[in-house]
Structure 1
Amino acid sequence: MIGKAGKLILLAVLLAYGLQSKAQDNIIDQIIWVVGDEAILKSDVEKVRIGMLSRGERIDGDPYCFIPEQLAVQKLFLDQAKIDSIDVPAAEVARGVTRQENMVISNLGSKEKAEEYLQAPMTQLREEWREDIRNNFLVSEVKKSLVGKKGNLTPSEVRKYYAQLPKDSLPYIPTTVEVQIITQEPKVPLSEIDKVKERLREFTNRVNAGESFSTLAIMYSEDGSAPNGGETGFSGRAQWVPEFANVAFSLNDPKKVSNIVETEYGFHIIQLIERRGDLVNVRHILMRPKVPNEELEKLKLRLDTVVTEINDKKYTFEDATVFSYDKDTRGNNGLMVNRSESFYYGTPRFTMEELPAEVGKAVDKLQIGEISAPFKMMQKNGKEAIAIVKLKSRTEGHIANVSDDYQALKEIVEGHKQEEILKKWLQNKIKSTYIRIDDNWKNCEFQYSGWVKEE
C-alpha cells in the first residue's frame, strides 16, 4: 500500500505531467491542485461550473479561479470533518438530492434536457449530487462547531458596531408587514371527484396493460414531479403527508399500482421504484378535481358578508379565524408566519416580496387594521381558495437604528464575526496543509492568502 508520503509524491508527479491517455498524447484530464493528500482535477472544475449554470447560479469573477479555490476550501473543511468524526443523516441527503433534481429540471425544462445538458443519465447525476450534498452538510457542521458560542454577541458589541459604521454604510431595512388571513376552500361537486377517480383508474388499467407509468405522469400529473415521470426521489416517511406515506411504504411490488389515495393535495396513484431501509423512492400521478367558477363566486359572496359583519362590529376578525381552512394560522388568530429562513423557526414579519403574490397585492392597498375584499389565491397544496386578509402592522422601510432594529443588526454583526472566525481558521489551516498548484492555475486573485507556497 502507498503511505501518505508516497501518495503526496505521486500526486506531485501527476500534477507536473497531467493524466495522460495511454492511446493518445493529448491530456484528457489534469490534476490542477493538490490539497493535503487530495487532488482537484480540471474535470472537477468543469463539473462544478456546468452544475452552477444548470441551477441558474451566478459565478462571480473568473470561474477557473473562483471554483478551484472553493473546492480547496471544501477539502480543508472535509478534512476537519474526518478529524471530528462528523456523520450525515441519510434522510437529510435524500431530501437534498430531490430538491437539487427538481431545481435542475425546473431550470432546464425537462428530465431529458437536463440529462442532455449535463451529459449523464439522471441516476448517475443523483449519485454525484448525493456526494456533493453530503459534503456540503459536513462543511456546514464543521463551520457550526468552529463558530460555536464564539459567534454570539452581547448587546454592547452590537451597539459598538453600529456606532462605528459610517452613516452611508448603515444597512437599509425594507418595509415589513404582519398579516392575518382567513381562507375558505370551495365545495367540490361529487361529480368532479368521480371524474378524477375514473381517470386514475383508467391510468392504472393502462399501466397494468403495459404502458409506462412515467410517461402517463409526464402527460397528466398535476404535481411538480411530473417532468421527472412522477418520481419523488428517496424520501423518509416524515417528508410526506401521512396518507401518502402510509401507502408508499406499504408497497412491495414495483409492477403494481396502488389504490387511489386522497390527500390534502388531491388524488394519487403510486408505484414503487425502490426501497432502501427507511427511505423509499416512488413515482405518482396527482390529479385535482376541477372547481366550477360558480362555487368560487358563491364563496366570495360568503366572505364578503363576513367582512361586512366584522366591520359592523358583530364579531372580530380574530373570532372568524376559527372557521379558516388554513391549519397553519387558524390556531394563531390567523397570523401568518414567515418560514423563509427555516421551517422550524419563523417570524410574523414579511417583506412584501416574501408574501404569496395574491396576498401581497391585497395587503399593498390596506391601512393598518383594514380588511381586504375577498380574493382568489393558490394555496401551498395547489388548491384554489378564497381569502380575506387583515393588515395587523406595517413598518416602513428605513435606515437601521439600534432601538428599532436591534435583532436585524445583531444578525448582521454576528455574520461578520463568524466570517472573521472562519477566515482566521482557514488561514491557519492553509499554512499547515501541503498545497501544490499547477503553474497555469496560479495567476489568480484568491480570496484567501497562502495558497501558493514558496518553492
Structure 2
Amino acid sequence: MINKLKITFLVGVFMMMFSGHIQAQLQQGQLVDGIAAVIGDEIVLESDVEENLNYAKQQGASNIDKCEFLENLLNNKLLVYEAKKDTLIENRSVAIKEQANAKYNQMLSQFPDEKTMLTAYKFRTAYEMKNAIEKMDTDTYYGQSKYQRITEKADVTPNEVTDFYNKHKLQLPEIKDEVSLAQIMMYPKLTEAHKQELIDKLKKIKQDIAGGETFESQARIYSEDEGSAANGGLYKNINRGQMVKSFEATALNLQEGEISDPVESEFGYHIIQLVRRSGKIYDARHILLKSTPTEEEITSAKKKLDSIKTLIVDGKITFKDAAFKYSDDKRTKFNAGLIPGADGSSKIERESVPGTISYELAGLNKGDITNAFEDEDSRRKVVKIVKIEDAIPSHQITLETDYDRIKQMALNKKRDEMVGKFINSKLSTTFISIDSRYDSCQFRSNWKKESLTK
C-alpha cells in the first residue's frame, strides 16, 4: 500500500522505477497515443502515465491516481530538460546510441527473425524500435544524472534520523521474516574426455560445412544457443565488447566467411564464422555446444564442496575465506559470499528466497550450512553450499533493530526535498503545457503556474 509517507518519496522512487520497467514498456508496444504534457522541449505521453500507473499497481500500490503519476513524470522530464543544459553532465549520446543498438540486437537474438520481433513489440520498423530504446535510455541517463547532481551533498545526522523515525514511525511498514545468506558456488568441471567429445563433434560439423552443408542449417540442428540457433546462429551488428572475450577475439581474427576451430568460453565450445565486419561493428554466426556437466561431474563437484564445508565446520577455514578461494560466483566471492537482497543490502525476505535454496534451508538455523546441492545460475548447472548468516523474525521497524534502514529512508526524504526545491525554482522560467484532461489535478508543485496571491 502506498501511504502519504511513500508518496513523499515518489520522486526518488521514480528514478529507479523508470529504468526498471523499460522492458515492460517495450513489451506492451505502447507508442504514441496522445501527449499528456510538454516541459521545455520534453514530452510526456499519455501512455507513459498509464504504463507507470500499471507498473505501480503490479508492485502492490493502491490509493493512488493518475495525477500523482503525471506529476512524477513531469518532475523527471524537467530534470531531463535541465540535465541536457548542464555542462557538468557528460553528453553520452554516442554511447547511448551504441547501447540501444546492443540492446536491440540482444532482443533480436531471442527471435527467429527481425520481422517476428517487430511484430511482437508492435513496432513498424527497426529504426522506430531502436529510437524508442534510445529515447528511454537517454531519459534515464539524464534524469538520474541530474538527480545525483542535485543531491550529491545530501546527508543526515543521527538526530535527523531519530526525528524522522519519531515523526513517521506509525507509517513505517512491518518487516517480514528475513535472512542473510552466503553461498559458495561452483561450476562442475568437465572431464578431459567430455571436453574432447564436444571439440570432436564441432570439428565434424565444421568438416560437414566444408563438404557442402550450410553453416545456417548446421546451427539450427546442433547449436545449443537458444538466442541464435533458430536464426542460423546469426548475431547482427555486434559492438566490440558486447560478446565474451574469447568469442570476440576469435571472431575478429577471422576473414569474412572464414570459420574458426573450436574455441572455449564460459558457456561451452563454439565454432564461429565472421560474416561481415565494418569498423567496430560485425556480424557473426556460431554453433555452441554447452558445457553441460554429466551426473558424475555434478557428483564430483558436490563432493568437493562438501569437503570444503567440513573444513569450515572444523574451523580450519572461514566461510568468507572459502568463498574467496573456491567460489566461481564473481558477484559474491569478494563479499564473503553474501547474497544481495532486492534493496542492495544482505537482507532477503524469507518468502522470496528461491525455491531450491529454500528447500535446502528447511530446518536449519542461524550459522548452519547446507550440504552441497544442485541448482541453476543463468541457465547453467551449478552446485552450492549456503550458510544462514542471520535470521531476523518479522517485526515493526525500530531504531534499535533497523537504524541503517531508517537512515536510508530519512536520506531519501532529504534528497527528494532537495529535488522538489530545485524543481519549484525552475517552474516560472520553463515552458509548461499540460493537457486539459488533467485540469482537475491538484499538484504538489505549481505546475499550472497559478497565481499564488489569489
Matched residue type, 2:197: D
Aligned residue in 2 for 1:326: 328
Aligned residue in 2 for 1:394: 391
Aligned residue in 2 for 1:445: 441
1:139 and 2:143 matched: yes
Return the alpha-carbon distance in structure 2 between the equivalents of residues 63 and 268 of structure 1.
Answer: 52
Aligned residue in 1 for 2:159: 156
Return the alpha-carbon distance in structure 1 between the equivalents of residues 105 and 52 of structure 2.
Answer: 11
Return the alpha-carbon distance in structure 2 between the equivalents of residues 288 and 221 of structure 1.
Answer: 6
Return the alpha-carbon distance in structure 2 between the equivalents of residues 147 and 357 of structure 1.
Answer: 39
What per-residue deviation string (whole Å, max 9, x for no partner) do you get for residues 113-137 of structure 1?
5411413244541232123212220
What per-residue deviation string (whole Å, max 9, x for no partner) do you get for residues 366-407 of structure 1?
222322122112234x43233223333333332222233222
Aligned residue in 1 for 2:380: 383
Matched residue type, 1:433: T
Return the alpha-carbon distance in structure 2 between the equivalents of residues 65 and 207 of structure 1.
Answer: 64
Return the alpha-carbon distance in structure 2 between the equivalents of residues 52 and 216 of structure 1.
Answer: 43
The match for 1:175 among 167, 178, 195 is: 178
Matched residue type, 1:336: L
Return the alpha-carbon distance in structure 2 between the equivalents of residues 413 and 367 of structure 1.
Answer: 33
Q: Counterparts in 2 of 1:36-185, with a 5 A limit? A: 36-37=40-41, 44-46=45-47, 72-85=74-87, 86=89, 87-88=91-92, 90-91=94-95, 94-95=98-99, 98-99=102-103, 113-117=116-120, 118-149=122-153, 151-167=154-170, 169-170=172-173, 172=175, 174-181=177-184, 183=186, 185=188
Offset of residue 185 of structure 1:
1.3
Offset of residue 353 of structure 1:
6.2
Return the alpha-carbon distance in structure 2 between the equivalents of residues 81 and 204 of structure 1.
Answer: 56
Matched residue type, 2:438: K
Matched residue type, 1:367: N
Q: Is the 8 A contact 2:164 2:410 kept in 1?
A: yes
Equivalenced residues, count: 413
More displaced 10-residue stretch of structure 1: 76-85 or 44-53: 44-53
- Helix, strand or coil: the match of 1:231? strand
Return the alpha-carbon distance in structure 2 between the equivalents of residues 378 and 418 of structure 1.
Answer: 39
Return the alpha-carbon distance in structure 1 between the equivalents of residues 332 and 348 of structure 2.
Answer: 18
Q: Is the 8 A contact 1:197 1:267 kept in 2?
A: no
CA distance 1:393–1:159, change in 2 (3 Å): same
CA distance 1:77–1:371, change in 2 (3 Å): closer
More displaced 10-residue stretch of structure 1: 173-182 or 353-362: 353-362
Aligned residue in 2 for 1:359: 357
* Root-mean-square deviation over aligned CA pairs: 4.7
- Helix, strand or coil: the match of 1:287? strand
More displaced 10-residue stretch of structure 1: 352-361 or 112-121: 352-361
More displaced 10-residue stretch of structure 1: 272-281 or 110-119: 272-281
Return the alpha-carbon distance in structure 2 between the equivalents of residues 204 and 53 of structure 1.
Answer: 53
- Helix, strand or coil: the match of 1:450? coil
Offset of residue 363 of structure 1:
3.1
Q: Is the 8 A contact 1:175 1:398 kept in 2?
A: no
TM-score by length of 1: 0.70
The match for 1:231 among 230, 235, 256 is: 235
The match for 1:368 among 366, 369, 383 is: 366
Q: Is the 8 A contact 1:324 1:330 kept in 2?
A: no
Q: Is the 8 A contact 2:112 2:228 kept in 1?
A: no
Offset of residue 175 of structure 1:
0.8
- Helix, strand or coil: the match of 2:85? helix
TM-score by length of 2: 0.70
Return the alpha-carbon distance in structure 1 between the equivalents of residues 273 and 213 of structure 2.
Answer: 14
What per-residue deviation string (whole Å, max 9, x for no partner) do you get for residues 336-380 of structure 1?
342866xxxx75544446755533432343222322122112234
CA distance 1:349–1:446, change in 2 (3 Å): same
Return the alpha-carbon distance in structure 1 between the equivalents of residues 96 and 341 of structure 2.
Answer: 19
What per-residue deviation string (whole Å, max 9, x for no partner) do you get for residues 406-440 of structure 1?
2211111111222222223223323322223444x
CA distance 1:433–1:263, change in 2 (3 Å): same
Return the alpha-carbon distance in structure 1 between the equivalents of residues 164 and 430 of structure 2.
Answer: 34
Aligned residue in 2 for 1:430: 427
More displaced 10-residue stretch of structure 1: 169-178 or 206-215: 206-215
Aligned residue in 2 for 1:12: none
Return the alpha-carbon distance in structure 2 between the equivalents of residues 74 and 411 of structure 1.
Answer: 21
Return the alpha-carbon distance in structure 2 between the equivalents of residues 48 and 101 of structure 1.
Answer: 28
Aligned residue in 2 for 1:221: 224
What per-residue deviation string (whole Å, max 9, x for no partner) do you get for residues 92-112 of structure 1?
654466457757987x99965
What per-residue deviation string (whole Å, max 9, x for no partner) do you get for residues 175-224 of structure 1?
13132425361434524643465247627965996857499469833355
Offset of residue 153 of structure 1:
1.4
Aligned residue in 2 for 1:16: none
Matched residue type, 2:326: S
Aligned residue in 2 for 1:296: 298
CA distance 1:204–1:88, change in 2 (3 Å): farther
Matched residue type, 1:399: Q
Q: Is the 8 A contact 1:203 1:216 kept in 2?
A: no
The match for 1:420 among 417, 420, 431 is: 417
Return the alpha-carbon distance in structure 1 between the equivalents of residues 33 and 112 of structure 2.
Answer: 30
In structure 1, runs of 5+ residues without a counterpart are 1-27
- Helix, strand or coil: the match of 1:84? coil
